[in-house]
Amino acid sequence: MLDLIFFGSAFGCGFIVLQLRLPPLIGFLAAGFILHSLGYQSTASLEKISALGVTLLLFSIGLKLQLKSLAKLYVWAPASIHIILCTGIFSAFMLLLGRFSLPLFTDLSLETSILIGFSFSFSSTVFAVKVLEQRGEMASFHGKLSIAILVMQDIFAIIFLAVSTGKTPNIWAFALLVILPLSRPLLFKILDRSKHGELLPFFGFFFALLVGYQLFEFAGLKGDLGALVIGMLFASHKKAGELAKSLLSFKDLMLVGFFLSIGLNAELSSQVVLAALLLVVLLPLKMLCYYFLTACFRLRARTSLLNAFTLANYSEFGLIVCALAATNQWISNQWLAVMGIAVSITFIIASPLNAYSNQIYVKFEVWLEKFESKRRLLLEQQVPLQNAKILIFGMGRVGTGAYETTERHYPGKVTGVDISQESVDKHRELGRKVILADATDPDFWQRINHSEVQMVMLAMPKHIQNILALEQLKASGYTRAVTAIANYPDQQRELQELGVDSTYNFYLEAGRGFAEHVNEKII
C-alpha cells in the first residue's frame, strides 16, 4: 500500500513538473521530500527497486560505451584532474566556513572535509543520462564525452566504496579477468539467439543483475561495477542498442524509486538547508573547471559548454559515499541530508541550463571562443557539404531508407548527416555520402554554405532533435523546402506551425507504404 502511495505521489509531482518543461525527475525528488514531511519513511521494497534501477542504469551505460573511449586523453585526464581539484576546493571551503563557526562545519576535521569534498566532486550519472536521452544526444560527441567522464568518476567512487567497505578482490576477481574476455563469443551467440521478443529484456536482467552484479560481489568487487563491465562487454554487439531500448521502461520505472528514496531518507532542518545552500554556491566553480579542463584538451567551446551543463550537478554517488561514511560514523547523519538537498537543488538548476543550452551558447559564443584551442580534435573539425542538393539529418532506419530512395532519383546530390561516428563509418563503408555533424549545433549552420541545398529532411529519432534543428536551420537563413518525420499527430502539428513544409507520420505512413508494396506485388 505504501509503495502505491509513493509512486502515485511521484506521478502527480512528475506530471506537474513536466508541464513546466522541466524533467519529471525533479518532481520525483519533490514527491520524496513532501512524503517525508508528512511522516512517511522509505520501505525495504522501495530501496530494492532503487538499487535495481541504478544497477540497470550502469548496465545500460556499459552497452553504449566502448572501453577504448575511456583511454582517450581528453576523457581520463579532465575527469581525474577535476576530481582532485574539486575535492581540494570543496574541502578548503568547508574548513573556511568552520572558522566562522557555522553549524555543521565547525566539527569537520581535515580528513572528514576531504571525504565530503570528494563526495561533492562527482556529477550525477542518472541526471546526465536522462537529459541526454530526452534530447536524443546520447550518440553525440559531447554526450559520449559526458558519459565517459561520468564512468571514470563512477570507477573512482566504486574503488573508494570497495576499499571503505573492506572489500578486497579475491582470487576469483583475477579469474574473471580471464574468463569474461574468453567467454565473449559464447555470450554473443546467446544474445543473437535471444531474438527480439520478451526474452531480450529478460536477457538484460539476467546478465546485469545475476552474471554482472552477483559474480563481482562473489569476487570481492562492487556489484554495480560488474553490471557496468558486463554491459561494456556487449557494447560492440550489433544488438546492443536494441537491448538497451528493451530495458528502457524497466530502468526508468525503477529509477523513480531511486529519486523517491533520496527525499524520503532526508532529515530536514534549518542548519541542513543552510549548509546545502552554501555548498550549492560552489556549483558554478565546478562547472568552470569542467569547461576549462576539456577546452585545454582541444575541444570546441560548444562541446565544452554542453559537457559542463550536462555535469552541472551533484551526484547520487556522492549520496552513496556519504551514506557509507555516516554508517562508519566518519561523519554525522546530517551530512547525508545536506547532500540530498544539494543534489536536488542542483538538479533544478541544471535542468533549465540544459534545456536552453544552445541559446546560452549563441549568446556567449564570442566570449567562450576566446578560450577555445586553435587546434581541434579530428572529431571536432567541420566537414564540407560536398555540393549537396538534399540533406538528410539522422541516418537511422528512416533516414537510410530516405537516402536510398532519394539517391535513386537524384544520384550524387544527396548527403546524410549523423551525430554518431560509428553510424557515419558504417554508411561510408557501404558507399553512402554521410558526414559527421550535430544538426542542433549552431556552429554547424553558421559554418556551412547551404546556398545550394534545395531540401532538408529531418529524420532524427527524437522529436526534440528535429525541433531544435529546425530552429537552427531557420536562424541560419535557410528558406527552401523542409520535411520532417513525427510519431504522433500533435508532433506533426507542432512541426507545421514552425514552418515545416510537409511532415511524415512514421507509424501511419509505414502502414500505407506496406500496403502499396503488397498491392504492387499482387498486380
Structural domain boundaries in the chain: 2-15+45-371, 385-522
The CA distance from 298 to 376, in Å, is 5
- Position 474 scores a pLDDT of 79
And the C-alpha cell for 146?
Answer: 559526458
- Position 293 scores a pLDDT of 94
| CATH number listed for the domain at residues 2-15+45-371 | 1.20.1530.20
- Position 381 scores a pLDDT of 65
- Helix, strand, or coil (residue 337): helix
- Position 162 scores a pLDDT of 64
- Position 517 scores a pLDDT of 47
- Position 122 scores a pLDDT of 93
The CA distance from 426 to 431, in Å, is 9
Please answer whether residues 417 and 437 qualify as being in contact, where contact means their C-beta atoms are separated by less than 8 angstroms: yes
Q: Residue 316 is inside which H or E element, if any?
A: helix 316-327
Q: How many residues does the chain have?
A: 523
DSSP codes of every residue in 4-20:
HHHHHHHHHHHHHHHHT
Give the number of other CB atoms < 10 A from CB of residue 49.
Answer: 21
Rounded average pLDDT per 10-residue block, the chain, 523 residues: 84 87 77 86 84 84 75 90 95 93 89 93 86 76 87 79 68 80 88 85 88 83 81 85 83 83 77 92 95 90 91 85 80 84 87 85 85 72 73 90 88 89 90 86 69 87 86 79 88 87 74 53 53
Half-sphere exposure of 197 (CA within 13 A, CB side): 3
Amino acid of residue 241: G
Fold match, 2-15+45-371 / 385-522: no
- Position 329 scores a pLDDT of 83
Look at domain 385-522 and name its CATH class. alpha beta
Closest CA to 402 of 506, 508, 520, 498: 506
Q: Give Cβ neighbours of residue 95 (< 8 Å, ≥ 6 apart).
A: 105, 108, 110, 113
Handedness of CA 430, 435, 441, 446 (dihedral sign): negative
